[in-house]
Amino acid sequence: MPRYEGVLHFTIPVKDLDRSEKFYTEVLEFKKVGRRDPIVFMRAGDNYFNLTYSENPITLNAIGHHEIHSAFRLTAEAYDEALKSLPERGVEIFKQEDRKAGIFVGRSAYIRDPDGNVIELIDLVRAAT
């Protein structure tokens, strides 16, 4: 059985690389580490993700749902700042939670990127091991 060391990167499908690059770097303030069309390589702390142009339709959650999403950890201070700054930047926070029990415990806010992908921002108190 292989012993996995972690996740190198994951992919968020997008329809417009320029628009998505601008949203993720200027609005969400992730670090761009490179671009080789059809991929923009991004960094979140010590982790990486890709914005990749998708020729196929992007699978979205049903209205009001957020089960399919990508989650990013923030410090408590950065989470509070995001709750203030994102609406000022035109980003709707469509759901907030403060989970006291479960696998991932902490405060979460859910937003959508320009393609409708759901992004969770979480002030993670603890995760099950």
The average pLDDT across 46-56 equals 97
1-56 domain in CATH 3.20.20.70? no
On average, the pLDDT of the chain sits at 95
The average pLDDT across 3-7 equals 91
Q: Is the peptide bond before 57 cis (omega within 30 degrees of 0)?
A: no
Which CATH code fits 68-129? 3.10.180.10
What's the pLDDT band for 10 if we cut at 50, 70, 90? very high
**pLDDT for residue 127 is more than 90:** no
Structure confidence at residue 48 (pLDDT):
98
Lowest mean pLDDT among 63-67, 73-77, 86-90: 63-67
- In the chain, how long is the greatest CA-to-CA distance? 48
Q: E strand or H helix at 80, and its extent? A: helix 76-88
Who contacts 35 (Cβ-Cβ below 8 Å, separation ≥6)? 17, 21, 41
Structure confidence at residue 56 (pLDDT):
95
Domain boundaries, the chain: 1-56, 68-129
Q: Could you tell me which of 13, 25, 21, 9 has the C-alpha nearest to residue 52?
A: 13
Q: Do domains 1-56 and 68-129 have the same CATH topology?
A: yes
- The pTM assigned to this predicted structure is 0.94
**pLDDT for residue 115 is more than 90:** yes
**pLDDT for residue 64 is more than 90:** no
